[in-house]
Copies of this chain bind each other. A is one copy, B any other.
Amino acid sequence: VQKSLVRDGQIKNALVALSEALDSRAILTGEAITERYSRDWSGDYVGEPAAVLRPSDTSEVAAAVRICRDACLPIIPQGGHTGLVGGATPDAAGQIVLSLERMNRIRALDSLSMTMVVEAGCILQTAKEAALAQGCLFPLTLGAQGSCQIGGNVATNAGGLNVLRYGMMRNLVLGLEAVLADGRVFSDLRALRKNNTGLDLKQLFIGTEGTLGIVTAAALRLYPQPRWVETLWLSAESITGIMALYDHCRREAGELLSAFELITAPCLELALELDPNSPLPGDVARFPAHALIEIASSGGPDLRPWVEELVASMFENGLAQTGLMAHSTAQAAALWRIREIMVEAQQRRGLHLRTDISVPISAIPLFAARIDEVLAQALPGVKVLTYGHVGDGNLHINALPPAHLQGSAFRPWLLPLTRKINEVVDAFGGSISAEHGIGITKRTALEERLAPVDRELMHAMKATLDPDGLLSPGRILVV
């Protein structure tokens, strides 16, 4: 009780100082704190922030951080609330949520240099549209792009559907501005494509989920807009068959292969429940494995005739059994909708298991077979959903509960089944988190896998940059 009273006093004093340093719209407390700030998208994490801060510029962020540090108040930086690992949800009373949502300006866009400078709270879709308006592409493409924010994309090193071609967020960041744990501002927003001057400090803030600093703005790399885009759905007799298709497409299309998504039969079935009007031919449903393929180019000659020949040859030589080449952008969008609707389709089945792993691409067929085996043995009747970005070696191994374990009855199984999956990932030399990050959800699994030297280095970095442990505490590293 004593301790809690001291804490309450600290918070009260800090709020007085904050109300002097920030404008009136910047501070929410009590009833004004909506679920948006306290609950994550999946509903798996709910917290009670002592206050929500919404600074409007970098100097306000710095001031807020200094005041919180002086009061020993932990800060949870928050973006668009679309994370899947509980990284941005406050987990206890007394934590301060620092939302970047009001810092949403596009500070600069240079279409000849193909660069833009964007604030952390800018919604990804808004940044993409601003680039498009100048004839450029910001390639990061996520299901959540209508709500996720650039700062969160940087802090989580977001991946998505275009990684095969453009890499993850780390590859798209040319410069960064971040507020450190003591309120100092690191700032290098020069939008240079090449800058090789010693330690690349911005790397410290990419993918570290706010534990080493709070990203406030980023200089981003833009690309030419795609000019020719061909979208295919091809079905095969097995995942091995899909991998043969992948190898063929990659050898023939080279880097023009811009997406190659695996969708197994149980995933397709689930998606079609929600989207029965898909343009897929009827016989597709008979096959166990499917690929959604995009071949695209931002210049050069029209790809259509060449892709038509490629598809014909894949049918002729038996690599593909059935499928569809989209004849319009509307049809291409309908094919992508099948892939994108999967998350929602799973969500509607209630509590289910989600993972986000990667393995060497060549290991995918054996890996997927072993996963089926291991999960069927661990929990007979479980429905394994294997899909993902084959070209990146990144699969989502998800699972729906058997009929008798629907809803919360499945909860006790989540951890043991995830452990089983992670053991298979380990056996194939993979990663337990390909793109979603660690957050709260995977920190124990990461801890178990970190080599001692890795753990020591990560803790040493944390101690150097945030000695009081006030930034995103408990994220990534088990304290």
CA distance in complex: A437, B393 (Å): 33
If A198-B438, A207-B199, A454-B186 touch, does A247 touch B193 (CB 8 Å cutoff)? no
Q: Is the CB of B358 within 8 A of A201?
A: no
Q: Is the CB of B436 within 8 A of A362?
A: no
Residues of B within 8 A of A252 (CB): 299
Chain A window 185-215, contacts with chain B (Cβ cutoff 8 Å), 1 for yes, 0 for no: 1111011111111111101101111011000
Residues of B within 8 A of A299 (CB): 250-257
Chain A window 446-479, contacts with chain B (Cβ cutoff 8 Å), 1 for yes, 0 for no: 1000010110111011001100000000001100
Name the distance in Å between A307's Cβ and chain B's nearest Cβ: 8
CA distance in complex: A171, B391 (Å): 17
Query: Which residue of B163, B193, B208, B254 contacts A358 across the interface (Cβ within 8 Å)?
Result: B193
Residues of B within 8 A of A196 (CB): 156-157, 159, 168, 207, 431, 433-438
If A110-B362, A180-B453 touch, does A431 touch B197 (CB 8 Å cutoff)? yes
Name the distance in Å between A196's Cβ and chain B's nearest Cβ: 5
Residues of B within 8 A of A159 (CB): 194, 196
Question: Which chain B residue lies CB-closest to A430?
Answer: B192
How many chain copies?
A: 2
Residues of B within 8 A of A389 (CB): 194
Chain A window 276-297, contacts with chain B (Cβ cutoff 8 Å), 1 for yes, 0 for no: 0000000000000000000101
CA distance in complex: A303, B254 (Å): 14
Residues of B within 8 A of A211 (CB): 198-199
CA distance in complex: A203, B361 (Å): 23
Whether a CB of chain B sits under 8 angstroms from the CB of A101 is: no
Q: Is the CB of A453 within 8 A of B192?
A: no
Q: Is the CB of B432 within 8 A of A197?
A: yes
CA distance in complex: A308, B254 (Å): 22
Whether a CB of chain B sits under 8 angstroms from the CB of A371 is: no
Q: Is the CB of A199 within 8 A of B212?
A: yes
Residues of B within 8 A of A114 (CB): 250, 361
Q: How many residues of A contact B (CB 8 A)?
A: 99
If A208-B199, A299-B257 touch, does A194 touch B358 (CB 8 Å cutoff)? yes
Residues of B within 8 A of A257 (CB): 299
Q: Is the CB of B194 within 8 A of A453?
A: no
Whether a CB of chain B sits under 8 angstroms from the CB of A266 is: no
Whether a CB of chain B sits under 8 angstroms from the CB of A407 is: no
Query: Which residue of B194, B206, B361, B429 contacts A392 across the interface (Cβ within 8 Å)?
Result: B194
Residues of B within 8 A of A315 (CB): none
Q: Is the CB of B464 within 8 A of A195?
A: no
Residues of B within 8 A of A435 (CB): 194, 196
If A301-B303, A453-B180 touch, does A198 touch B194 (CB 8 Å cutoff)? no
B-facing residues in A159-177 (Cβ within 8 Å): 159, 163, 167-168, 170-171
Whether a CB of chain B sits under 8 angstroms from the CB of A1 is: no
Query: Which residue of B192, B430, B436, B454 contacts A431 across the interface (Cβ within 8 Å)?
Result: B192
Q: Is the CB of A197 within 8 A of B361?
A: no
Name the distance in Å between A46's Cβ and chain B's nearest Cβ: 24
Chain A window 360-374, contacts with chain B (Cβ cutoff 8 Å), 1 for yes, 0 for no: 111100000000000
B-facing residues in A241-277 (Cβ within 8 Å): 243, 247, 250-257
Question: Which chain B residue lies CB-closest to A302?
Answer: B301
Question: Which chain B residue lies CB-closest to A227?
Answer: B254
Q: Is the CB of A431 within 8 A of B207?
A: no
Question: Which chain B residue lies CB-closest to A250?
Answer: B224
CA distance in complex: A393, B167 (Å): 21
Having A197-B433, A301-B303, one finds 16 other A-B pairs with CB under 8 Å, namely A110-B360, A112-B362, A188-B451, A190-B429, A194-B431, A196-B438, A197-B432, A197-B476, A198-B446, A199-B207, A199-B208, A199-B212, A199-B476, A201-B457, A223-B255, A255-B299
Which residues of A come within 8 Å of B, CB atoms? 110, 112-115, 135, 156-157, 159, 163, 167-168, 170-171, 180, 184-188, 190-201, 203-204, 206-209, 211-212, 223-227, 243, 247, 250-257, 295, 297-301, 303, 305-306, 358-363, 389, 391-394, 429-438, 442, 446, 451, 453-454, 456-458, 460-461, 464-465, 476-477
22 A-B residue pairs with CB within 8 Å: A112-B361, A113-B362, A115-B360, A135-B251, A163-B194, A186-B453, A192-B429, A193-B394, A196-B438, A197-B438, A198-B208, A198-B458, A199-B204, A199-B208, A199-B461, A201-B457, A224-B254, A251-B299, A253-B299, A255-B298, A300-B301, A301-B303
